[in-house]
Amino acid sequence: METPLTNNIRPDREPLDIEGYEQAGGYRAVRKVLGGMAPADVIEAITQSKLRGRGGAGFPTGIKWSLVPKDLAASGPHYLVVNADEMEPGTFKDRLLLEGDPHQMIEAVIVAAYAIQAETAYIFLRGEYFLAERRLRRAVGEADARGYLGTNILGSGYDLAVHVHASGGRYICGEETALLTALEGRRAVPRAKPPFPQTSGLWGKPTVVNNVETLCNVPHIINNGADWFMGLGRGEDGGTKIYGASGRVRRPGSWELPMSTPLCEIIEEHAGGMRDGYELRGVLPGGLSTSFIMADDIEVKMDFASVEKVGSRLGTGAVIVLDQRTCPIGMLRNLEHFFAQESCGWCTPCRDGLPWVERLLAGIEAGEGEMDDLDILEQHVKFLGPGRTFCAHAPGAMAPLASGLKYFRAEFEQHIHEKRCPWNEAH
C-alpha cells in the first residue's frame, strides 16, 4: 500500500531537513513544473486526477483553480492561502503533515501558487500549533536559501514569497472567507458569496484557499500522474486519505489509507477495536459537524458519495466513536457548547440559537427537561439548517443534533420522564 503523504514521516516525528527531503525525491515537482509546464498544464493535471478538497467540503481542486482569472493585468495580484487552522474537534491530520514533513507543504505551495500565478502565499496556521509553526518557518528559510523561494526561482522567471501566519484562534476561521477577513487583520466573520474568493478574495483580489492535506497531494500527482492517483483509491474517489479515530478505541490515532477504506476496517484493524467493556453504538465520521452513523452502517466505505448515502458526510475523516456507556445527550450537550462558544456572532440565528440549544440540552441532561423541549430542538434544527444562516457554522452544529434526535429519541424521553441522567448513576 502506497502512502505518499506520510512516507517521509519518521517514527520519532523529527522532520527531514531540506537535504534529506531532496534525497527522498523532494522538490522534483517544483523542478518539473517550472522547467517546462505552463500554469494551465498544472491545473489540467490536477483536474484529471479528480482530487477533491480534504478539508471537509470535497470540492474538486482543479475546478477551483480554474476559476481564477487568467488575465493578471486586469485582475491584479493573485494569492494562495493554505487553510491550516485545524480546529475541527477530533481532527489532527493536518498537524501530522505539518509537523512531520513541512517541506512537503512548502513544495505543494510552490506548485499550487505557480498554477494560479500567485506571487504571494500565506499559510494560515492554528495559533496553538507551536511546533508546526517552528518547523514550517525553518523549512521556509531552508527553501529560500536553496533557491526554491524568492525571485526568479530556479531561473524560471517566477517569483514567490511564502509567509507563515499564526492565527489568533476561533473555529470560524476554518470557513474560507472568515479566514481571509482575519488574515486582513479584521474581525473573523464570513463574507457573502458570490463573489467567491477565486475572483474576489484577499484584499479583493483573486485568491485560492486550500486545505493542508489537499495541497500535499499536489506534488505527488505532478510527479506520478492522474492515473496513478486514481489507482490509489478503492472506489470512485482517487488518492489516499488520512483517517483518524478517537473515543474508547484501543489505539486512537491517524492513518493514511486508500480512499474508500471501510469504516469498520478503520475502527477494528487500525484503531484496534473497542476497549474492553465498551461496545460501539455509533460514530461521527468526519468530526463534530457531521451526522451520526449507527452501528448498522459500520461497513460503509469512507468516501464522499458512500457516506452521504447513509445520511452523513465524510468531512475531515476524523471518526469520533460513541460507546454504550457514554450518555448521548451529554455528548450532544458538550459538542453544542463548543459550537455556541465558537459562533462569530454575525447572524442572529447562530448567535442566539446555538446557546439556546445548549441550554435546552443541559436542562434535559440535568433532569429539568420537558417534552416540549424536543419540539423546540427540532425547530432549531430547521431554522439553523442549510440556507437559513450566513455561513455553514450553525448548519454544521445542527447535523449531529438532528441525527441525535432521530437515533436517541428514547434516551431523550427517558431523561425527561425520569428527571435524571441514567448514565450518571449506571456508569
Q: What is the pLDDT of residues 210-266, one digit of tens each?
A: 999 999 999 999 999 999 999 999 988 999 999 999 999 999 999 999 999 999 999
Asked if residue 427 has pLDDT above 70, the reply is no
What pLDDT does residue 425 have?
65
Tell me the C-alpha distance between 79 and 311, whole Å.
36
- Whether residue 52 contacts residue 237, with contact meaning beta carbons closer than 8 Å, is answered with yes
Asked if residue 180 has pLDDT above 90, the reply is yes
**Helix, strand or coil for residue 254?**
strand
**Residue 126 DSSP code:** -
Q: Taking residues 191-210, report their average pLDDT.
A: 94
Of 17-21, 85-89, 266-270, least confident by mean pLDDT is: 85-89
Asked if residue 169 has pLDDT above 80, the reply is no
Assigned architecture for domain 328-426 = Up-down Bundle (1.20)
- Provide φ and ψ at 274, rounded to 5°: -75, 150
What pLDDT does residue 57 have?
81
Cis peptide before 194 (omega within 30 of 0): yes
Which residues of the chain form CATH 3.40.50.11540? Answer: 18-231
Tell me the C-alpha distance between 320 and 393, whole Å.
19
Question: In sequence order, which residues have a C-beta less than 8 Å from that of residue 339 and are 6 or more positions away?
Answer: 171, 288, 289, 354, 393, 394, 396, 397
Of 9-18, 70-79, 110-119, 342-351, least confident by mean pLDDT is: 70-79
- Could you report the per-residue pLDDT of 331-383, keeping only the tens digit for each? 999 999 999 999 998 899 999 999 999 999 999 999 999 999 999 999 999 99
| Rounded percentage of the chain residues whose pLDDT exceeds 90 | 88
Assigned architecture for domain 233-323 = Roll (3.10)
Q: Taking residues 23-40, report their average pLDDT.
A: 96
Asked if residue 309 has pLDDT above 80, the reply is yes
- Could you report the per-residue pLDDT of 183-195, keeping only the tens digit for each? 999 999 999 889 9
Asked if residue 268 has pLDDT above 90, the reply is yes
- Whether residue 90 contacts residue 171, with contact meaning beta carbons closer than 8 Å, is answered with no
Which residues of the chain form CATH 3.10.20.600? Answer: 233-323
- Whether residue 105 contacts residue 148, with contact meaning beta carbons closer than 8 Å, is answered with no
What pLDDT does residue 426 have?
55
Tell me the C-alpha distance between 380 and 374, whole Å.
10
Sort 106 into a burial class: Cβ within 10 Å, 0-12 / 13-18 / 19+.
buried
Asked if residue 300 has pLDDT above 60, the reply is yes
Assigned architecture for domain 18-231 = 3-Layer(aba) Sandwich (3.40)
What pLDDT does residue 55 have?
86
Asked if residue 145 has pLDDT above 60, the reply is yes
Neighbours of 204 (CB within 10 A): 12
Average pLDDT, the chain: 94
Which residues of the chain form CATH 1.20.1440.230? Answer: 328-426
| Rounded percentage of the chain residues whose pLDDT exceeds 70 | 99
Containing H/E element for 231? helix 226-232
Asked if residue 75 has pLDDT above 90, the reply is no
- Could you report the per-residue pLDDT of 311-338, keeping only the tens digit for each? 999 999 999 999 999 999 999 999 999 9
